[in-house]
Amino acid sequence: MGTPQVVVGTGPVSPEDVVRVARDGWGVRLADEALAAVAASRDVVERLAGDDRPHYGVSTGFGALATRHIPVAQRAQLQRSLIRSHAAGSGPEVEREVVRALMLLRLSTLATGRTGVRPETACTYAALLDAGITPVVHEYGSLGCSGDLAPLSAVALAVMGEGTVRDAARVPRPAADALADAGVVPVQLAEKEGLALVNGTDGMLGMLLLALADLRRLLTTADVAAAMSVEALLGTDAVFAADLQALRPHPGQAASAANLRALLAGSGVMASHRGPECTRVQDAYSLRCAPQVHGAARDTLGHAAAVADRELAAAVDNPVITLDGRVESNGNFHGAPVGYVLDFLAIAVADVAGMSERRTDRFLDAARSHGLPPFLAHDAGVDSGHMIAQYTAAGIVSELKRLAVPASVDSIPSSAMQEDHVSMGWHAARKLRRAVDGLTRVLAIEVLTAARALDLRAPLAPAAATGAVRDLLRSAGVPGPGPDRHLAPEIEAVVELVSTGAVLTATSLSLS
């Protein structure tokens, strides 16, 4: 069988399809209904192109230059000039998965029939995705208004057979050569097409969708890490009771508490200090309030997902071709709705990571760890145990707090004050990607530390689920307690287990 394909119709692609194309290398094809819709709106543009009156994006310049009427003989040059001048990005190369996501999302908008491009132009986007050709897009260049202009222009440049791409083998090559080898004919852009290819929120939306996929896994992993910590620190699970959680009926909180109850079920460690003789009635907030913090993050994720779904259903372009055949300017390209939730998520990520690091720190302090050796060291003083692993987590958390400062409250006017308020949504997305990576690492350090502490509680047996996670680490080449070892490779091994979802799989539970 060949590479599976996502079929792009006139309706929205799904978040799952974006991940399939971006990360899993799925191909793309346009549905017949989409090709028909594209052709119909192109007919509108063709009629207007022959009109004596100026129509923005069809027979005028762009942005602050929109007052100039462009004669027919210069319109092809106008489109080429737009893309070449707007492909002005700089800085590090953006990840392949981000570029593929934004390409699919722009194609999905083209397929709505609201942009006025020709069918062959839309088909070329699908062909590039199918061939695994990824235009080189640079980190800086988008202000998140009038679309992710520079990133989308870099893609459009490749569609024209210009600029640099990476082929299916990830080798950088001139676009013309890579397209020729793949049998893809470069597009000679016609009226309206340049604007249609660059006026979208596709970059920031693509990064939002990828982050949502990651955070669904990571927030559940945070519950696993918290359960291991509550258990190994001899905390109480009584506070996670369903009736107590229902007194504050936030759905995310209820889901997190249910996970904690399931993860700790049958724990011999928990049973060892449960009963009237136990004098510990309240744990520290980082243990007791895990459902409240993790739950708030889950609810923030839910809000962000709802915004993403609405954005997936949007046809963002300026101007647009309306259903009754008008060509109308609009402001739908402004990235505020997406930029806000990207910033909200960065705040939630920083808080969940901060709580995780506090649980890790409790393991290492003999005054708070209830009988565990200082720093979980084999021979404290000779060995340092996990002392510096906590430093690593603390350093990441500090960085996450800086990344939580919202980008969407900033604005730098551009285009001779025509674009006098911009969203900075692309920048919000870029910092969220870094924050998601940081959360992955902080949770991995907590899981690593809690697993070592569970071993040190022997002969008390952990719960089946938490014990299975501990055993996963041991089978992945992360040894249990003992004299100091090179710790960085062990941290990276657990980072891999967290990022691939292996930690969640190991629990054998259907966690929400």
- Kindly give the pairing relationship between strand 90-93 and strand 172-174: unpaired
Please name every residue paired with 172 in a beta bridge, in sequence order, or none if there are none.
Answer: 166
- Where is average pLDDT lowest: 159-168, 265-274, 426-435, 468-477? 265-274
Are residue 241 and residue 352 in the same domain, yes or no? yes
Of all residues in the chain, the percent with pLDDT exceeding 90 is: 85
pLDDT, tens digit (0-9, with 9 covering 90-100), for 437-446: 999 999 999 9
Three-state secondary structure of 80-144: HHHHHHHCCCEEEECCHHHHHHHHHHHHHHHCCCCCCCCHHHHHHHHHHHHHCCEECCEEECCCC
- Kindly give the pairing relationship between strand 327-328 and strand 172-174: unpaired
What average pLDDT is seen over the chain?
94
pLDDT, tens digit (0-9, with 9 covering 90-100), for 211-245: 999 999 999 999 999 999 999 999 999 999 999 99
- Given this model, what pLDDT does residue 57 score? 67
Are residue 163 and residue 304 in the same domain, yes or no? no
- Given this model, what pLDDT does residue 75 score? 76
Distance CA 303, CA 345 (A): 10
Q: Is the pLDDT of residue 152 over 60?
A: yes
- Kindly give the pairing relationship between strand 134-135 and strand 5-8: unpaired
Instruction: Give the closest residue to 184 by CA, choosing from 233, 127, 236, 231.
Output: 127
- Given this model, what pLDDT does residue 63 score? 60
Among the listed residues 56, 125, 285, 391, the single catalytic one is: 56
As a whole number, mean pLDDT of residues 405-420 equals: 88
Instruction: Give the closest residue to 386 by CA, choosing from 361, 354, 366.
Output: 361
Query: What is the Cα 464 distance to its own chain's centre?
Result: 32
pLDDT band at 325 (very low <50, low <70, confident <90, very high): confident
Domain count, the chain: 2
Are residue 129 and residue 251 in the same domain, yes or no? no
Domain end: 200, 234, 263, which one?
Answer: 200
pLDDT band at 464 (very low <50, low <70, confident <90, very high): very high
Q: Is the pLDDT of residue 60 over 70?
A: no
Q: 33 is written with which tokens?
A: 């209904």
Domain for residue 512, yes or no? no
Distance CA 345, CA 226 (A): 20
pLDDT, tens digit (0-9, with 9 covering 90-100), for 189-211: 998 899 999 999 999 999 999 99
- Where is average pLDDT lowest: 64-73, 207-216, 389-398? 64-73
pLDDT, tens digit (0-9, with 9 covering 90-100), for 258-315: 999 999 999 999 999 987 766 666 899 999 999 999 999 999 999 999 999 999 999 9
Instruction: Give the closest residue to 269 by CA, choosing from 5, 454, 28.
Output: 454
Domain for residue 194, yes or no? yes
As a whole number, mean pLDDT of residues 395-417 equals: 93
pLDDT, tens digit (0-9, with 9 covering 90-100), for 4-53: 999 999 999 999 999 999 999 999 999 999 999 999 999 998 888 777 67
User: Helix, strand or coil for residue 299?
Assistant: helix
Distance CA 102, CA 205 (A): 8
Domain for residue 218, yes or no? yes
Are residue 30 and residue 117 in the same domain, yes or no? yes
DSSP character for 145?
S
Establish whether 340 is a catalytic residue.
no
Residue 191 belongs to a domain with what CATH number? 1.10.275.10
Are residue 14 and residue 83 in the same domain, yes or no? yes
Continuous segment of H or E residues that includes residue 153: helix 149-159
Q: 424 is written with which tokens?
A: 């900075």
